[in-house]
Amino acid sequence: MAVDFQVCFPQETIAVNKVRALPGDLRVLEIEGEDFSAVDTVSVNDIEVPAFAVLSSHVLRAQLPLSLTLADVRAVTVLSKRLVTTAKSTLRFRIGSMPSKVRGPLRLSQLFLKVLFTEPGSDIYSKGLGGGALRALRTSFAASDSGGVINNFSVAVRATTRQIVAIQARNPSLPPDEKLLNASIISSAFSPQEAALSVAIEIINQSGRPAILNLVV
């Protein structure tokens, strides 16, 4: 039996309400937010801070990354240790020091992303497998065509959905929460200036439980 190890971690993004420099120390930020009871990482401008300390459920202090000054601060992101696939989730890909098996909706989410970004023909055991999302995006990114970018990615999502449903139909032993029922894009935005597509994909398993995958590609 094949075993999938977890490499996709959908972490909850904690709302940040206020950021200010600590009086007397411009290298330390004081951050106020909704619930800091289970903070995993703090990032400034997408750079993880070298150290942080949670003072209370609503206040933490974080040291600025060495490459940044206070004037550089544009965005502060606080991620929770909680693994949830909701509209507040941020996807992180990593292999931990002690890899663990993944099951249920998280396994389905990981499978969907793997197939979505697999190039057709690249899998020697299944040449037709793959949504080809990256290849579809390269063409439209080059043309800076917002409508084309979103449309091409939608085509890749639909192709991925069809392939997974067809493959899983041949495996009746899969539990319902690991079997795909449907997937669709619920929001999308393309920035020509940054050549970046932000998209939220809702996948629904055969237990009827939805999961939202937030991607920036």
Taking the CA atoms of 180, 186, 192 and 193 in sequence, report the sign of the dihedral they define: negative
Question: Tell me: the pLDDT tens digits for 141-190?
Answer: 655 567 788 888 999 999 999 999 999 999 999 999 999 999 999 999 88
Using an 8 Å Cβ cutoff, are 84 and 10 in contact?
yes
Distance CA(197)–CA(150), nearest Å, equals 8
Indicate the pTM of the whole model: 0.68
Distance CA(38)–CA(40), nearest Å, equals 6
Each domain of the chain, given as residue ranges in start order, spans 13-82, 103-216
Per-residue burial over 8-47, b if 16 or more Cβ lie within 10 Å, else e, is bbbbbbbebeeeeeeeeeeebbbbebeebeebebbbbeee
Question: Tell me: the pLDDT tens digits for 77-116?
Answer: 998 876 666 666 777 666 655 566 778 888 898 899 999 9
Distance CA(152)–CA(95), nearest Å, equals 30
Distance CA(132)–CA(85), nearest Å, equals 23
Q: Which two tokens stand for residue 18?
A: 């206020």
Which CATH architecture describes the domain 103-216?
Roll (3.10)
Which pLDDT band, with edges at 50, 70 and 90, does 72 fall under? Answer: very high
